[in-house]
A and B are shown apart, each in its own frame.
Chain A
Amino acid sequence: MQVSSGSFASGDWQRISAIAVIYFLAKTLRHLFGQIVFLIPVFIFINKNIKENPVLTVAIIVSIGLLLGLYAVASFLVYRYRLSSDTLEIRSGIFKKTQTHLPFSRIQNIRLEQPIYYRLFNFCCMELDTAGSIQNEAKLIAIHMNQAVALKDIILSTRKSSSGGESNGERQKNESLDETIDEHILCTRSVSDLIIHGVTNNRVWLFLGAAAPFFDTIIQYLGISLSYIGLDLQKLFDVDSQGYAVVVIAALSLTMFIMMILAVFSIAGSILTYYDYRLSRNEDRYIRRSGLLTKHEVALPLRRLQMITYKQDWLDVVLGRVNLIYLQADASVGQATAANTNKLVVPSVFPEQAQSLAEDAMKAAQLSQALYSPIHKRYILNKFLVFVIPTAVLAALIIGLNNDSWLIGTAALIAISLLGSAIAYLRWRRWGYSMDDRYVYIRRGLFGIQHSCFERHKLQQISRKQSWFMRRYHLYSVKFVLASGGIKLPFINREEIKLIADQSLYIAESSGKSWM
Chain B
Amino acid sequence: MTFSNQLLYLNDLGVDNVEFTQVELRYIRMRRLLSVIYIIVFAVFGAIAAWLSSVWFEPMQGEVTFISACLVSLSLLLAIYRFFADPKKQYALREHDLSYQYGLFYRTTITQPIVRIQHVEVKQGPIERRLALASILAFSAGGQMHTFYIPGINVDDAHRMRSYILNHEVDVKDAS
Contacts and interface: CB of A to CB of B under 8 A. Distances in A.
Interface of A: 329-330, 332-335, 459-468, 471, 481-483, 485-486, 494, 498, 501-503, 505-510, 512, 515-516
B98 to A, nearest CB: 10
A483 B142 contact: yes
A462 B9 CA distance: 17
B105 interface: yes
A464 B15 contact: yes
A471 B146 CA distance: 24
Contact of A509 (B16, B96, B144, B175): B96
Given A459-B116, A502-B15, A508-B115, A464 B142 contact: no
Given A461-B113, A510-B1, A333 B97 contact: no
A463 B145 contact: no
Given A464-B108, A509-B113, A510-B96, 6 more contacts: A462-B111, A465-B108, A466-B108, A468-B105, A486-B145, A503-B9
A466 B107 contact: yes
A465 B175 CA distance: 34
A513 B6 CA distance: 18
A506 B143 contact: no
Nearest to B98: A461
Contacts of A462: 110-111
13 contacts: A333-B144, A334-B145, A459-B116, A460-B112, A464-B15, A467-B107, A485-B143, A486-B146, A507-B1, A509-B96, A509-B113, A512-B176, A516-B141
A485 B146 CA distance: 9
Contacts of A510: 1, 96
Contact of B146 (A329, A460, A503, A505): A460
A379 to B, nearest CB: 16
Contacts of A486: 142, 145-146
Give the most central of B96, B107, B143, B144: most A CB within 10 Å: B143
Contact of B141 (A465, A483, A506): A483
A329 B172 CA distance: 21
B106 interface: yes
Contacts of A334: 143-146
B22 interface: no
B6 A461 contact: no
Interface string B1-36: 100001001100111100000000000000000000
Interface of B: 1, 6, 9-10, 13-16, 96-97, 103, 105-116, 140-146, 148, 172, 175-176
B109 A506 contact: no
B141 A329 contact: yes
A486 to B, nearest CB: 7
Contacts of A515: 116, 141
Contacts of B143: 330, 332-334, 483, 485
A415 B76 CA distance: 39
Contacts of B148: 461
B111 to A, nearest CB: 5
Contacts of B109: 463-465
Contacts of A333: 142-145
Nearest to A469: B105
Contacts of B145: 333-334, 485-486
A106 to B, nearest CB: 14
Nearest to A464: B109
Contacts of B116: 459-461, 508, 515
The dominant DSSP class at the B interface is mixed
A467 B106 contact: yes
Contacts of B107: 465-467, 471
Given A333-B145, A512-B175, A461 B112 contact: yes
A335 B140 CA distance: 15
A461 B96 contact: no
A494 B141 contact: no
Contacts of B142: 333, 460-461, 481-483, 485-486
Contact of A508 (B15, B16, B113, B176): B113
B106 A465 contact: yes
B140 to A, nearest CB: 4
Contacts of B105: 467-468
B111 A505 contact: yes
Contacts of A482: 142
Contact of A503 (B6, B16, B115, B175): B6
A486 B16 CA distance: 22
B97 A509 contact: yes
Contacts of A464: 15, 108-109
B143 to A, nearest CB: 3
A462 B146 CA distance: 10
Considering the complex of A and B, which 10 residue pairs feature the smallest CB-CB distances, nearest first?
A333-B143, A460-B142, A483-B141, A334-B145, A481-B142, A509-B96, A463-B110, A334-B143, A460-B140, A502-B14
Given A329-B141, A481-B142, A461 B172 contact: no
Give the most central of A464, A483, A516: most B CB within 10 Å: A464
A48 B112 CA distance: 63
A233 B68 CA distance: 46
B6 A506 contact: yes
Nearest to B111: A462
A481 B109 CA distance: 13
A486 B145 CA distance: 9
B19 to A, nearest CB: 16
Contacts of A467: 105-107
Given A334-B145, A486-B146, A505-B97, A461 B175 contact: no
A347 B108 CA distance: 37
B107 to A, nearest CB: 5
Nearest to A463: B110
B50 to A, nearest CB: 32
A508 B15 CA distance: 14
B146 A506 contact: no
B14 to A, nearest CB: 5
Contacts of B115: 508-509, 512
Contacts of A512: 115, 172, 175-176
Nearest to A514: B176
